[in-house]
Amino acid sequence: MIKIEGGVCAAKGFTANGVHCGLRKNQTKRDLSLIVSDREASAAAVYTQNLVKGAPLFVTKAHLEDGKARAVICNSGNANTCNANGIEIAEGMCALVEKYTGIPQNDVVVASTGVIGQPLSLEPIASGMESLVKGLGDHNDFAAEGIMTTDTVKKEAAVSFTLGGKKCRMGGIAKGSGMIHPNMATMLVFITCDAAIAPSLLQKALCEDIKDTFNMISVDGDTSTNDMVTVLCNGAAENPVIETENEDYAIFCEALNTVTTSLCQAIAKDGEGASKGLTCKVTGAVDKENARIIAKSVICSNLFKAAMFGSDANWGRVLCAIGYSGAKLDVNKVDVSFVSDKGSILVCQNGAGVDFSEEKAKEILLEKDITIDITLKDGDASAVAWGCDLTYDYVRINGDYRS
Amino acid sequence: MIKIEGGVCAAKGFTANGVHCGLRKNQTKRDLSLIVSDREASAAAVYTQNLVKGAPLFVTKAHLEDGKARAVICNSGNANTCNANGIEIAEGMCALVEKYTGIPQNDVVVASTGVIGQPLSLEPIASGMESLVKGLGDHNDFAAEGIMTTDTVKKEAAVSFTLGGKKCRMGGIAKGSGMIHPNMATMLVFITCDAAIAPSLLQKALCEDIKDTFNMISVDGDTSTNDMVTVLCNGAAENPVIETENEDYAIFCEALNTVTTSLCQAIAKDGEGASKGLTCKVTGAVDKENARIIAKSVICSNLFKAAMFGSDANWGRVLCAIGYSGAKLDVNKVDVSFVSDKGSILVCQNGAGVDFSEEKAKEILLEKDITIDITLKDGDASAVAWGCDLTYDYVRINGDYRS
């Protein structure tokens, strides 16, 4: 598993582009992206569990019923959600892809991100299609930029790996900064791969993977209406098609996990207003589910996140969040340590405070990447969750989002 | 039901006091409170559902097993939670009450609030007891101040009502500003009443009441380790003892609801860093439980709370929070209005946006008390939840709490 460059263009047979079509006021900001495979690809997706769903999700779901797709179109600046004509607009975006590329509209994945509940006009999108399609090429950066909203950095990851003697590549881009609290899947994540794999196994691999990746991030506890993760595998690498859960499948899953974990960390660290990336590692839980619940509860606590912003070793808030998580555990056996590049410090042992150097703790917590190590001594299961601190900037950004 | 002054001293036979004993550095801040009944009282309590519980809760629970109590002692500045000798210290506080008042220590309710996981010393408490007891009187204000932590205002409420021809009084004080997200009960709330009521009925009345009051507040989604609501009824009003669910019981419950609702609103509005009080009213739900889930989900959403801070009519975030609440509803029938002293404005009808004046919306949302009216058209059930906006000050206060 080798990390490589190229994002969604790393895999053979995939091109991408992103342009400014006018959905966003800032004319220097791309707001429309397209990813295209030169041949049919196996496709899988997972969607937000929010009852209020963006119209594009319904259209994408219908288009992926046959497990096949060839293109992804996505706009930012408007979520196309809670609009009376949302389905019509989402279908219109797919029809535009067919018109300009020849790819049948039911082979198109469509997504939108931005403000909820404001009518989305097809006009700017139609006007941008020609340059969008004309410029298709090795432009992962443009595509990554076109799906960004309040994101401050582009998020991409890619790996190369070998299946049946053939070199394969998998890469993805992600958008996500606020409304990050997945339940099955969240954010917009587009992954491309040139390996050959049956659609049903691709879907299975994705569903398994997100339990430990995209379902373990939280920025603000708000599950978005529009988010999905899609993977397209076009088989351009000419590996033997993966049709059973064999060794190749295991390697494929590992590649997927490497890409998704990397995107998860990038999303969490770029959480709206974040000044620090937080990783919560739970070990010694009675089972995986309880480990996940605890890791998520800590990473979601506003109080804990504000303490991390202040570099305050306030471990009582970690214990508090563990206590109300609803997980099964013996609170009298919990150990807590804070870890960063500056070292590690034990602050709580067997559920009670221990003497520790506040100076050393401060030095550790002033770093940009903090890990909270929680040891439960109840069993062998573990889990990791990713998040960020709660800052003044989170409030500023979200106090005035629509303008 | 007439609103009166006096808080916990409004009811006959109750006195209170609060002093600075040295647990808090600020010498002008009272940090130790005592409430005393001149006779035995029926007592009931509900406690936090956090698995990590403050030691005082275990001691109080044991002391209330017989449904009787005569005094409440509470310190601020230290939560006496996650300490090896916490139970011993909590029992020590009750023993001090016995030593200075003669009230048996197992008739004492004990509570602590403040930082978690720092040893609590009995010494300052012991040194403050003499002046605390000597000053017992009509000092509701002192008692209310002694239980405050990051609260910016004292919270009290009281009513008078009539049972069997006898005038009764009920009043309470509350502490709560951060870590407010009740599950069964939260915060510190002490209510006194001079009505006579059997302990079992008192407990029942309290358990029913909190479902619509203290369980419907959220400041930050963090359920505290230490919080409880207790009610003491000493019968000094000489009404016929309430021993069945008769008319008097109904009146008693109404009095309780008036006091608790008032304290709830005060707590929500004084949420850490809050600049606005938010009330979320849900009507037309399929049942009460679903109405409550939706009201809580909206009042808990960081994104929505930040929008309210910015006076931004971002109703998409209301729909989003309804959608991920887990409640049963038809999202295509939801109406949303924002209401304040400046008027009311419909912003979403049948799950989709409607044209509205942004100017008018801004005028409404710039007020200090905002109501979010959600109409579901799925049934007849309703619920109300209380909260506050998410502000820079919330982050400032919690980024540096311990120092």
The two beta strands, A32-47 and A343-349, are: unpaired
In the numeric block, the tokens 């629509």 are attached to: A402
The pLDDT of residue A223 is above 80 = no
B186 CB near a chain A CB, below 8 Å? no
One-letter amino acid at B251 equals I
3-state helix/strand/coil string of B162-220 = EECCEEEEEEEEEECCCCCCCECECCEEEEEECCCECHHHHHHHHHHHHHHCHHHEECC
Provide, as residue numbers in chain B, all residues whose Cβ is less than 8 Å from the Cβ of A176.
Answer: none
Q: What percent of chain A has pLDDT over 90?
A: 61
| Contact status, residue A172 vs residue A158, Cβ threshold 8 Å | yes
Query: Are B220 and B180 a contacting pair, CB within 8 Å?
Result: yes
Q: What is the CA radius of gyration of chain B?
A: 21
Q: What is the pLDDT of residue A183?
A: 45
B333 interfacial to chain A (CB closer than 8 Å): no
Fold that domain B277-399 belongs to in CATH? Ubiquitin-like (UB roll) (3.10.20)
- For chain A, positions 258-297, list CB contacts with chain B under 8 A: none
Is a pLDDT exceeding 70 seen at residue B127?
yes
Q: Nearest-CA residue of chain B relative to A223?
A: B324
User: From CA A377, how far away is CA A333, in angstroms rounded?
Assistant: 6
CA distance A383 to chain B (A): 20
Whether chain B has a CB inside 8 Å of the CB on A52: the answer is yes
The whole-angstrom separation of Cα B78 and Cα B120 is 7
CB within 8 Å of B123: residues ≥ 6 apart: none
Tokens for A353, please give them.
């405070």
DSSP secondary structure letter of residue A145: H
Q: Could you write out the DSSP letters of every residue in B66-103?
A: TSEEEEEEEEEEE---S-TTHHHHHHHHHHHHHHHH--
For the record, the structure tokens of B15 come out as 């006195």
Is there a contact between A400 and B312 if contact means CB atoms under 8 Å apart?
Answer: yes
- Please list every residue in chain B whose beta carbon sits closer than 8 Å to the beta carbon of residue A183: 324
Q: Measured between CB atoms, does B321 come within 8 Å of chain A?
A: yes
Residues A41 and A109: their CA atoms lie apart, in Å, by 12
Indicate the residue of A50, A321, A331 with minimum beta-carbon distance to B324: A50
Query: At a CB cut-off of 8 Å and minimum separation 6, what does B247 contact?
Result: none
Q: Flag if A401 and B314 touch (Cβ within 8 Å).
A: yes
pLDDT at A184: 35
Q: How many helices (H) and strands (E) does chain B have?
A: 11, 16
pLDDT mean over B17-43: 94
User: pLDDT at position A205, please?
Assistant: 86
A221 reaches B (C-beta below 8 A)? yes
Helix (H), strand (E) at residue A339: strand A335-340
DSSP B146: H
Contact between A340 and A367 under an 8 Å Cβ cutoff? The reply is: yes
**B157, B7 Cβ separation under 8 angstroms:** yes
How far is it, in rounded angstroms, from Cα A292 to Cα A281?
9
Give the distance from CA B309 to its chain's centroid: 23
Q: Give the C-alpha separation, B327 to B75, whole Å.
A: 39
Residue span(s) of chain A under CATH 3.10.20.340 come to: 277-399
SS3 B56: helix
**ipTM given for this complex:** 0.71
Residues of B whose CB is below 8 A from A117: 315-316, 319, 348, 352-353
Q: How many alpha carbons fall within 13 Å on the CB side of residue B174?
A: 29
Contact B119, B63 (CB under 8 A): no
pLDDT tens, B161-192?
999 899 999 999 988 766 655 443 346 778 88
Q: How far is B346 from chain A (nearest CA, A)?
A: 13
Q: Is a pLDDT exceeding 80 seen at residue A150?
A: no
For residues A197, A200, A201, A207, the Cα torsion angle rounded to the nearest 10 degrees is: 130
Beta carbons of B108 and B185 less than 8 angstroms apart:
no
Give backbone dihedrals phi and psi of B294, rounded to 5 degrees, phi first: -70, -45
Q: How far is A399 from B341, CA to CA, in rounded Å?
A: 21
- Distances in Å between the Cα of B402 and the Cα atoms of A275, A312, B123, B128, B233 are 20, 8, 21, 23, 36
Average pLDDT, chain A: 89
Residue ranges matching CATH 3.60.70.12 in chain A = 2-269
CB proximity under 8 Å: B 81-140 to A: 81-84, 115-119
Query: At which residue do the structure tokens 């769903």 appear?
Result: A53
User: Residue B286, SS3?
Assistant: coil
Q: Which amino acid, one-letter code, is at B271? A: G
The one-letter code for the residue type at A327 is A
Name which of A130, A159, A17, A136 is nearest A74 in CA terms: A17
pLDDT for res B182: 47
What pLDDT sits at residue B187?
67
- Burial class from Cβ neighbours inside 10 Å (0-12, 13-18, 19+) for residue A355 reads exposed
For domain B2-267, the question of CATH label 3.30.1330.60 is answered with no
For residues B150 and B76, what is the distance between their CA atoms, to the nearest angstrom? 10
- Residue range A47-74: average pLDDT? 90
CB B50 to CB A352 under 8 A? no
Look at residue B355 in the predicted model and tell me its pLDDT.
92
What whole-number distance in Å separates Cα of residue A105 and Cα of residue B138?
A: 77
Q: Sorting pLDDT into bands at 50, 70 and 90, what band is A228? A: confident
Q: Cα separation of A31 and A22, whole Å? A: 7
Catalytic residue chosen out of the listed positions B186, B223, B375, B391: B186
Chain B residues within 8 A of A321 when measuring between CB atoms: 222
- pLDDT tier for residue A182 given thresholds of 50, 70 and 90: very low
A156, β-bridge pairs: A173
Query: Higher confidence at residue A60 or residue A150?
Result: A60
Contact with chain A for residue B214, Cβ under 8 A: no
Do the Cβ atoms of B302 and A399 come within 8 Å? no
Question: Nearest residue of A to residue B226 by CA position?
Answer: A320
> How far is CA A325 from each of CA A49, A183, B49, B180, B273, rounded to the nearest angstrom?
20, 16, 10, 15, 25
Q: Chain A within 8 Å of B359 (Cβ-Cβ)?
A: no
Distance of alpha carbon B264 from alpha carbon B146, whole angstroms: 19
Q: Tell which residue, B380, B360, B361, B357, has the closest CA to residue B372.
A: B361
**For B306, which of A51, A119, A399 is closest by C-beta distance?**
A399
| Strands annotated E in A252-334 | 277-285
Contact A309 B117 (CB under 8 A): no
Q: B325 vs A48, A225, B309, B335, CA distance in Å?
A: 13, 12, 22, 16
Q: Name the token pair of B114.
A: 């403040």
* E strands present in A100-200: 108-115, 155-163, 166-175, 188-193
Locate tokens 């619920």: which residue?
Answer: B383
* pLDDT tens per residue across span B132-148: 999 999 999 999 999 98
- Residues of A with catalytic roles: 186
- CB contact under 8 Å between A225 and B307, yes or no, is no
For chains A and B, count residue pairs whose Cβ atoms are closer than 8 Å: 203
Tell which of A87, A320, A365 to mutate to test the B interface (max B CBs under 10 Å).
A320
Q: Which residue from B320, B398, B401 is facing A52, i.e. has the nearest CB? A: B320
Q: pTM surpassing 0.90? A: no
Nearest Cα of chain B lies from the Cα of A347 at a distance, in angstroms, of: 10
Please say if the pLDDT value at position A252 is more than 80.
yes
β-pair type (A155-163, A166-175): antiparallel
Supply the pLDDT for residue B183: 44
Task: Identify residue A3 by its one-letter amino acid code.
Answer: K
Q: What is the mean pLDDT of residues A374-400?
A: 89
The mean predicted confidence, pLDDT, of chain B is: 89
Euclidean distance between CA atoms B390 and B273, whole angstroms: 7
Distance CA B53, CA A323 (A): 8
Has residue A224 got a pLDDT over 70? no
A11 in contact with B, Cβ within 8 Å: no
What does the pLDDT average to over A229-239?
Answer: 89
- CA–CA dist B183, B168 (Å, integer): 30
Instruction: Tell me the CA end-to-end span of chain A in Å, nearest whole number.
Output: 44
Lowest mean pLDDT across A150-164, A167-181, A326-340: A167-181
Nearest to A400 among B224, B310, B390 (CB): B310
The pLDDT assigned to A63 comes to 96
CA B182, CA B189: separation in Å to the nearest integer?
A: 12
3-state SS, A196-221, equals: CECHHHHHHHHHHHHHHCHHHEECCC
Closest CA to B105 of B143, B142, B56: B56
Chain-chain contact of A323 with B50 (C-beta, under 8 angstroms): yes
The answer to whether the CB atoms of A314 and B402 lie below 8 A apart is: yes
Architecture of domain A2-269: 4-Layer Sandwich (3.60)
Tens of pLDDT, residues A76-128: 999 898 888 999 999 999 999 999 999 999 999 999 988 888 889 999 999 99
State the number of CA atoms in the 13 A half-sphere of B158 facing the CB: 22
Best residue in A47, A49, A51 for a mutation probing chain B (most B CBs within 10 Å): A51
For residues A399 and B312, the answer to whether their CB atoms sit within 8 Å is yes
> What does the pLDDT read at residue A53?
83
Q: Is B316 on the interface with A (CB under 8 A)?
A: yes
List CB contacts (< 8 A) between A293 and chain B. Answer: none
Nearest to B1 by CA among B258, B216, B201, B182: B258
